[in-house]
Structure 1
Amino acid sequence: MSTIRIRDARTNNLKSLDVDVPRGQVVVFVGLSGSGKSSLVFDTIAAEAGFQLTETFPPFTRNRLPKWTRPEVGQIDGLSPVVVIDQRRLGGNARSTVGTITDAWTYLRLLFSRLSTPHVGESNHFSFNDQAGMCQTCAGLGEVVASAVDRFVDLDRSLADGAILLPGFGNGGYWYSQYADIGSFDVHTPLREWSKAERDALLYGGEHAARLGTKPPKDYEGVVERFERIYLHTSDDLSDRKKETLARFTRAERCPDCHGDRLNEAARTATVRGHTIGELARMEISELANLVAELTEPTVRPVLDALRDRLAAMVTIGLGYLHLGRATTTLSGGESQRIKTVKHLGSSLIEMLYVFDEPTVGLHPHDVAAMTTLLEQLRDKGNSVLVVEHDPEVMAIADQIIEIGPHAGEHGGTLVFQGTFAELQQATTPTAAALSRPRPIKTQPRNPRGWLTIANATRNNLDNVTADIPTGVLTVLTGVAGSGKSSLAAELLAQHEAIVIDQKPVSTNRRSTPITYTGIATPVRKLFARTNNVPATLFSANSAGACPDCAGLGVIYTDLAFLDGQETVCQTCHGRRFTPEVLRHKVDGLSIADIDDLTITEAIHRLTDPAIASSLRHLDQVGLGYLRLGQPLTTLSGGECQRVKIAKELRETTAPTLYVLDEPTTGLHLSDIDNLLSVLDDLVEQGHTVLVIEHNLDVIRRADWLIDLGPGPGRHGGRILFQGRVADLTGTATAAALHPGVEIPG
């Protein structure tokens, strides 16, 4: 079959959609945020393909595979096994690295176990996740938890005034008398006026205390000694309170024994061609690939071939600036997505269905060509490649474009265009209109109220960078992927107080919805109570009005042992969660159960209570008016989560604040970016300072101030190439993207 034939797709907001998606091509799906693209591609096509494949396995295996919810659709034909490559950050734990997640470390370990001098043992002797290879001091983590002594005391206070900031050590605390009442310290003099010997005796005890004129008791413990005994040298399970204390008063430091290599002495001193495995783990992948290419030992040829292929794949997709020792928890969403594609580049499978979710996220315009080349390579090997994307450069390489819309939520879910990119540019759809809209560079930027200085930053690849961030304006950090933008932002956060608005999930609780998040549940219940002259408790699904059979959940869960648990709609309330008596009470023709189905935009107009409208207005303002009030926040994308957080800040913000945003255009259609920029402008107009890490050219054009890093990734970057007004930018990769056709000097 030459097409994926879809009939009567009704998932989420899809309106009985019929469409034929060509197989063996790159097909890009476009449309406004919330128009139904993801509902079609991920929740219908990928979900059905995943479900049918999973059903071919026995129950024991199915229980350990990803769960797929079967879509609401009349018929789908022409599916293949599906590979979904999404934007979820790889995360993992402290033991997960770029090397382990790509299996490159497995091949490197095997190589060292066969060729290293001296011979150490099998490959597990080079594994930091195995007792045979790990450093015992840090248990293979490369870091140890150390006391952040500089945070323990406030030098401008005396002991009596609470100079020791640790819980239980301040005046009136459990341990206070061990320092204030022993006659060795002046409790009323600020610590800054003490001698260094006195401060060392207070903190470290031991020989420092023995040198004091008035020696403490024999059982005296310094503040640091006592803290570490209580918090660090204990095997007890930590309470939440202790965990909070550890987070405040400790820091991770490089392991003093392995110096970050994670391995024991034997493994970290063995060499191949004069290099230890730790040195290779710290090399940039592009440099490591060149070194491995020089190895020709025939006894390990299969290992070398596999390692070369894996490293070459990472270089091909623009990740050559990473190193194998990089923790996966530090990777961006875009880097995570590209890491996931590495294993598929070398695959011999054909006629697969690859589904990508915005593969250009985290990519500078300069780097997008590498990703589009990858998409074409997967297609040319005989696969079908479906891409949800907003980037015009990806649309340009598509064999076909499908636009879903015309608008978001209730007003989307239909097929509005299917054809080539050239045909789309001549169409009258929202995407076509956005593509043709001129977006000039800001020529009259706002003037800063002041400056925040980042001094001598050396984090990651930053080359002793000093930067001045203007306050009271919109600043954008730009540069190719890996140039040091996130590192510079992290230094800003370390040196100045700020609120970070990132793409991490808003909630892990499936009961959390826009209703609970905005706090409108109580005003809604009161509105129903007022209108119908009944108690407000009737309208709580956790109280008097709840369906007795499902306890207000709307579903019944049945545990089926080794099979998947089954969640079925409650047969008493039919998923409505309330008793029939409660559902008879209406506001504007709506029952309390109908409220969940309203979009945020609809609720603002239909629910007359001012408290409800004011709480929801900011979510509508950031372009999330299409979300339904009852939609679990766990289902939101990273970009949607970030916009929910922006809305919360708009609602709660008061004093002038520094906001740092990480790629807020993620998941946004070209026309929605204008709404986002209006929101950011509102924050600035309210007196706040906004700094954005961003690749989107429309955001860059609207910046008041630009800081461009580079010139390349990793060790080839880490320098500030430009600070100033966007209109004055020349000679960088960002300048070339803003002014196509202009060559970069050098």
Structure 2
Amino acid sequence: MRRNIEVRGARTHNLKGIDVTIPHRALAVVTGVSGSGKSSLAFDTLYSEGQMRYVESLSAYSRQFLEQMERPPVDSITGLPPAIALEQKNSVKSARSTVGTATEIADYLRLLFASVGQTMCPQCNVRVVKHTVGGAVGEVLRLPPGSRLLVLAPVARGDRPWESLRRELERLGFSRLWLADRIVEVPEVAEAQAPAEFEVVIDRLVLADPPAASRARLAESLEAAFKAGHGRATVMATGEAGQSEISNVKSEMPLPHPAPVDAPQPGGMPTACPPGGPPLRGHASGVPTEHAQQTSPGMPPSDALAAGSRQDVETQHLSFDARFNCSRCGREFPEPDAQLFSFNSAVGACPTCEGFGRVSGLDPAKIIPDPRKSIDSGAITCWQTPAYKELHRECRRACRARGIRTDVPYVDLPESARRFIWEGEHDSQGNGWIGIRGFFDWLETKRYKVHVRVMIARYRGYYPCPECGGRRLRPEALNVLVGGRRLADLVVMPVKDLRQWFDALRLEPQDDEKAAVLLREIRNRLAYLDDVGLDYLTLDRQTRTLAGGEAQRINLASALGSSLTNTLYVLDEPTVGLHTRDTQRLIGILRNLIAKGNTVLVVEHDPEVIEAAEHVIDLGPGAGEAGGQVIFQGPSRELARSEASETSRQLKTHAARAMAPYARRPKGWITVKDARQHNLKGLTVRLPLGLLCCVTGVSGSGKTTLVHSVLYGQFKHRRGEAVEQVGACEDIDGLDAVDDIILVDQSPIGLSTRSNSVTYTKAYAAIRNILAETPKARVAGITAADFSFNVPGGRCEVCKGVGTVTYDMYFMADVTVVCQECGGKRFKKKVLDVRCSGKNIADILDMTVDDAMAHFAEHEAITEHLRPLADVGLGYLRLGQSTASLSGGEAQRLKLASYLAAPRKGEHWLFIFDEPTTGLHMADVQVLLRTFHRLVHAGHSLLVIEHNLDFISQADWIIDLGPEGGEAGGELVAAGPPEKIAASDRSHTGRFLRQRLAKS
């Protein structure tokens, strides 16, 4: 086998025919400035080729179910193993996908509960046990030798006349009954004496010495008793006082009532009798149902067992049930099955919420977002529109007639008054006040109107399911325990606590052997999640709520659990979302992959990961067309010697950068009081205005909850805007000081291939206008609209302005080829003939932002829209590049550029950013910082969630949460300028900042 992966002549995107060597079973890092071609090499060349080779080895039938990738333009790639890509993005949208299902831990938990789970009756708090013939025989054989046994089958008479039932019993071979503590012959029982419930005598015997000698006969008798008794059987044992010793029998209660006529029967027995028929259906396995003629010599007389009332004889009742029900109350339960513990299965999902854990309904917080307002001042927002203003007036009249004040805050109204406002009050004719709920009930009758459906949706929210309490499973699944805990209890525990619980779990010996493999897999996967820094997550956390970095590390943990070997793992910035404290743990995880015989290729900018790599490939020297060359490749220890490498220069200087170069003072404060969402523990914190403020802390410390859910969610909610989640807090002061709060996150801008960077920043309109004003366009009658690829006119109608045509191959993957009509240029020939400074519209869309700024240097209308793209480090993007192809970090910076391109003078905005340095080289971080400081100088405020020390050290203010993640987080550790945080002994961020100061 080759010892290296050899790439020769790679020309993907901006790669300049580069040659690269990557050693097998090593950690290799691809680095370089943003846009230098790192992803083109790692993902679009190596991963794409590796995936193509694997897919081509499969049958045509199998290939139709797999994503087909385009073969990269490269001369040759040798020594390439099968490849797996773990990208830094979260593409999961389903609410059914959780951390547990994504890591397969949920699957192993379901199997664990199905195999060793103990079902408990919630009413009686006793374990539900199902007896088998073998188990019942084992219980009886524990009795002392010589015990006199009577095997009985409980039976219910039902409505059938006794005479008819007696004949049926005799026909089936049953000649004796157990009645009134004695054995009686069936013919001796008269109609008047026949009880509604009785027991049929199946066998009488004396337990042999040793007892095992009676095993075969006991098994036959008990099997017959289970058949006749609809799954139930009773053994009465008589011996000398003190001789009998029975443990672990199912029933310690008096003999339960016999089964009804239509009780279910195991073993394929009918479940109901014909009218008047007996609840008995013959013999088991062809053996006689009573062994009266087969008793051993010395068998006691028929009423000997009745002597249990004598002081020297002890009688014991052993009741067995082949049905899965409670021995005390008789309630039946479903037997544990893997599907019963899956909320994605109809068998296990809660019937009310269908396994989602939440149900929708009216959200009082949306209808009355500010309870400090009075009804007069518009507390009930749904009646403040002109269409429903009359209901607002009607509400005031109804309240005054009831003696309810409408000029006091809604929150100060008594409970009875608020109930009246919500529920209304009307007579039998429907006259009176309908209330808020009655109003929405009326709206439901008008749902056929679009605007009504929109309004209803605006005031609805999601609540924990009242049936399952948000646990997603049906009640029967919640009665099953392992180690004293339900499955629903385990999935809400943080990974760190759950790992400790499983490490301490001890099962019964017979269960431990069955669950050994399952427990090993669960413990291993929990350990991997813990090791990749996700110890704060719970298994019920929805995957779609994870950040891109968290989703990638979830996939990394799953990859570790799969135990693959001889595989190429390609990772995109695995340190995203990871605190500096956890970077070394991540490197250890990557080492574990390598130890299993794999090769790990990482696109990364983090100095610690670069220094830990065995092999470094540095691309550059610039971005876009100025990149795509190998500046350095070799051992990481030799990178420092490279004079041409920007990465080398940054590694030498990043530790020495000054901290907080701007001595700015806050222009005001926003105070969040008593925030209690997720793991926030009554957090009160002041956020400065007019500064660049960083929110820091280890992963899971509560940063996203504070900024996204509480601050941003409350702000939008109070404005009556729809927001997915509103964090709970007592109050937020100071929101009036900002005109708007703008969340600039890493979510995709759009999935349409028609959206691109030039249209997103509004520069395309100016470009089309300039082309339309050229002499040739005027002569040909071509207008600005003809340069649009979104509408008919000048676009190619074969490909509809996309440039490619997709063919449905039915049982194979779709094939996408360049449009033969326009050659991928997207427009008709007459439009392509129009040129500006020698470039047509296709040439312009193929330019990078930097090239376009140089080309249109004299057209301020264009450059003013493109300049922000260059300012945020996106000068390497091509104007026509689809926004769907952008990474999370690029999408975030593109959104930032759109705000820079359209400033509003006199307005004060609070910008929220979530790890804006994602995907940025150390040199690009400095460019981004200059852009952020421009926003602050323009009068805006910035609140940034960040882990990058280069960025944090140059902030004006830092709010550090922690001290740990999950339940150990959610507290304010320190707040103030970087120097103050660095002096904090409790702050993990401060510790690394101190190290930075010591080197500067």
Same fold (TM > 0.5):
yes
- Residues 356-399 of structure 1, C-alpha deviations (whole Å, 9 max, x = no match): 10010000000001110111111122111101000010011111
Residue 524, structure 1, aligned to residue 767, structure 2: yes
How far is the alpha carbon of 1:343 from its aligned partner? 2.2
Residue 502, structure 1, aligned to residue 741, structure 2: no
- Residues 650-683 of structure 1, C-alpha deviations (whole Å, 9 max, x = no match): 2234210111110000000000000111111111
Residue 392, structure 1, aligned to residue 570, structure 2: no
| Contact 1:507 1:634 survives alignment (8 Å) | yes
How far is the alpha carbon of 1:539 from its aligned partner? 3.0
**Which one-letter code corresponds to 2:106 in the other structure?**
W
| Contact 1:156 1:191 survives alignment (8 Å) | no
Q: Equivalent residue for 2:466?
A: 256
**Under a length normalisation based on structure 2, what TM-score does the superposition of the two structures give?**
0.69
Q: Equivalent residue for 1:560?
A: 809
Q: Equivalent residue for 1:430?
A: 646
Q: Equivalent residue for 1:449?
A: 667
Residue 513, structure 1, aligned to residue 724, structure 2: no
Q: How many angstroms apart in 2 are the aligned matches of 1:596 and 1:66?
A: 28
- Residues 205-232 of structure 1, C-alpha deviations (whole Å, 9 max, x = no match): 24xx57xxxx99448532223325645x
Which range moved further: 425-434 or 673-682? 425-434
Stretches of structure 2 that go unaligned for 5 or more consecutive residues are: 121-127, 129-334, 717-740
Q: How many angstroms apart in 2 are the aligned matches of 1:47 and 1:364?
A: 31
Q: How many angstroms apart in 2 are the aligned matches of 1:741 and 1:150?
A: 46
How far is the alpha carbon of 1:495 from its aligned partner? 3.7
Alignment size in residue pairs: 731
Q: Equivalent residue for 1:201?
A: 420
Q: 637, 648, 672: which is aligned to 2:898?
A: 648
Residues 141-220 of structure 1: matches in 2 within 5 Å? 141-153=356-368, 164-166=380-382, 169-170=383-384, 172-173=386-387, 176=390, 180=394, 184=398, 191-193=406-408, 200-206=419-425, 217-218=430-431
Q: How many angstroms apart in 2 are the aligned matches of 1:578 and 1:272?
A: 65
**Which one-letter code corresponds to 1:412 in the other structure?**
G
Q: Equivalent residue for 2:506?
A: 295
Residue 739, structure 1, aligned to residue 994, structure 2: yes
SS in 1 for 2:473: coil
Which range moved further: 526-535 or 398-407? 526-535
Q: Equivalent residue for 2:118?
A: 116
Q: 579, 593, 598: which is aligned to 2:828?
A: 579
Residue 29, structure 1, aligned to residue 42, structure 2: no
Q: How many angstroms apart in 2 are the aligned matches of 1:62 and 1:238?
A: 45
Q: How many angstroms apart in 2 are the aligned matches of 1:2 and 1:380?
A: 15
Q: Equivalent residue for 1:493?
A: 712
Q: How many angstroms apart in 1 are the aligned matches of 2:701 and 2:878?
A: 39
Q: How many angstroms apart in 1 are the aligned matches of 2:638 and 2:430?
A: 86
SS in 1 for 2:387: coil
How far is the alpha carbon of 1:90 from its aligned partner? 5.3
| Contact 2:681 2:971 survives alignment (8 Å) | yes
Q: How many angstroms apart in 2 are the aligned matches of 1:311 and 1:506?
A: 34
SS in 1 for 2:879: coil
How far is the alpha carbon of 1:275 from its aligned partner? 1.5
How far is the alpha carbon of 1:599 from its aligned partner? 0.7
In 2 relative to 1, CA 556–348 (structure 1 residues): closer, same or farther, beyond 3 Å?
A: closer
Which range moved further: 79-88 or 524-533? 524-533
Q: Equivalent residue for 1:4?
A: 5
Q: How many angstroms apart in 1 are the aligned matches of 2:910 and 2:526?
A: 40
Stretches of structure 1 that go unaligned for 5 or more consecutive residues are: none
How far is the alpha carbon of 1:695 from its aligned partner? 0.3
Q: How many angstroms apart in 1 are the aligned matches of 2:683 and 2:374?
A: 37
In 2 relative to 1, CA 621–45 (structure 1 residues): closer, same or farther, beyond 3 Å?
A: same
**Which one-letter code corresponds to 1:468 in the other structure?**
R
Residue 611, structure 1, aligned to residue 861, structure 2: yes
How far is the alpha carbon of 1:164 from its aligned partner? 4.7
Q: Equivalent residue for 2:686?
A: 468
Q: 485, 489, 493: which is aligned to 1:283?
A: 493
Q: 257, 281, 305: which is aligned to 2:520?
A: 305
Q: Equivalent residue for 1:224?
A: 437
Residue 664, structure 1, aligned to residue 916, structure 2: yes
In 2 relative to 1, CA 282–160 (structure 1 residues): closer, same or farther, beyond 3 Å?
A: closer
SS in 2 for 1:424: helix
**Which one-letter code corresponds to 2:119 in the other structure?**
T
Q: 872, 877, 901: which is aligned to 1:622?
A: 872
Note the aligned Cα RMSD (angstroms): 2.8
**Which one-letter code corresponds to 1:283 in the other structure?**
M
Q: 557, 562, 576: which is aligned to 1:342?
A: 557
- Residues 313-344 of structure 1, C-alpha deviations (whole Å, 9 max, x = no match): 21222222222122212222221111101222
How far is the alpha carbon of 1:258 from its aligned partner? 2.1
Q: 575, 578, 600: which is aligned to 1:360?
A: 575
In 2 relative to 1, CA 182–85 (structure 1 residues): closer, same or farther, beyond 3 Å?
A: closer
- Residues 211-259 of structure 1, C-alpha deviations (whole Å, 9 max, x = no match): xxxx99448532223325645x99x7995x5665355323322223322
SS in 1 for 2:356: coil
Q: Equivalent residue for 1:321?
A: 536
Q: 932, 937, 951: which is aligned to 1:699?
A: 951
**Which one-letter code corresponds to 2:345 in the other structure?**
D
| Contact 2:640 2:648 survives alignment (8 Å) | yes
Which range moved further: 516-525 or 552-561? 552-561
Q: 353, 362, 372: which is aligned to 1:138?
A: 353
Q: Equivalent residue for 1:539?
A: 787
**Which one-letter code corresponds to 1:117 in the other structure?**
T
**Which one-letter code corresponds to 1:737 in the other structure?**
F
Q: How many angstroms apart in 2 are the aligned matches of 1:238 and 1:327?
A: 33
SS in 1 for 2:562: coil
Q: How many angstroms apart in 1 are the aligned matches of 2:97 and 2:52?
A: 29
SS in 2 for 1:73: coil
| Contact 2:694 2:946 survives alignment (8 Å) | yes
In 2 relative to 1, CA 557–190 (structure 1 residues): closer, same or farther, beyond 3 Å?
A: farther
Q: Equivalent residue for 2:623?
A: 408
| Contact 2:27 2:594 survives alignment (8 Å) | yes
Q: Equivalent residue for 1:61?
A: 62
- Residues 9-48 of structure 1, C-alpha deviations (whole Å, 9 max, x = no match): 1111111112222222111000000000110110011001
The structure with more radius of gyration:
2
| Contact 1:147 1:228 survives alignment (8 Å) | no
Q: How many angstroms apart in 2 are the aligned matches of 1:640 and 1:242?
A: 38
Q: How many angstroms apart in 2 are the aligned matches of 1:72 and 1:46?
A: 13
Q: How many angstroms apart in 2 are the aligned matches of 1:660 and 1:477?
A: 10
**Which one-letter code corresponds to 1:291 in the other structure?**
W
Residues 227-238 of structure 1: matches in 2 within 5 Å? 227-228=440-441, 230=443
Identity %: 38
**Which one-letter code corresponds to 2:995 in the other structure?**
P
Which range moved further: 73-82 or 137-146? 137-146
How far is the alpha carbon of 1:445 from its aligned partner? 3.1
Which range moved further: 150-159 or 452-461? 150-159
In 2 relative to 1, CA 172–419 (structure 1 residues): closer, same or farther, beyond 3 Å?
A: closer
| Contact 2:753 2:883 survives alignment (8 Å) | yes
| Contact 2:443 2:452 survives alignment (8 Å) | no
Residues 684-695 of structure 1: matches in 2 within 5 Å? 684-695=936-947
Which range moved further: 298-307 or 479-488? 298-307
Which range moved further: 450-459 or 110-119? 110-119
In 2 relative to 1, CA 243–55 (structure 1 residues): closer, same or farther, beyond 3 Å?
A: farther
SS in 2 for 1:456: strand
Q: How many angstroms apart in 2 are the aligned matches of 1:480 and 1:126?
A: 33
Residue 274, structure 1, aligned to residue 484, structure 2: yes
Q: How many angstroms apart in 2 are the aligned matches of 1:325 and 1:596?
A: 45
**Under a length normalisation based on structure 1, what TM-score does the superposition of the two structures give?**
0.92
In 2 relative to 1, CA 496–381 (structure 1 residues): closer, same or farther, beyond 3 Å?
A: same
| Contact 1:127 1:133 survives alignment (8 Å) | yes
Which range moved further: 191-200 or 615-624? 191-200
| Contact 1:159 1:170 survives alignment (8 Å) | no
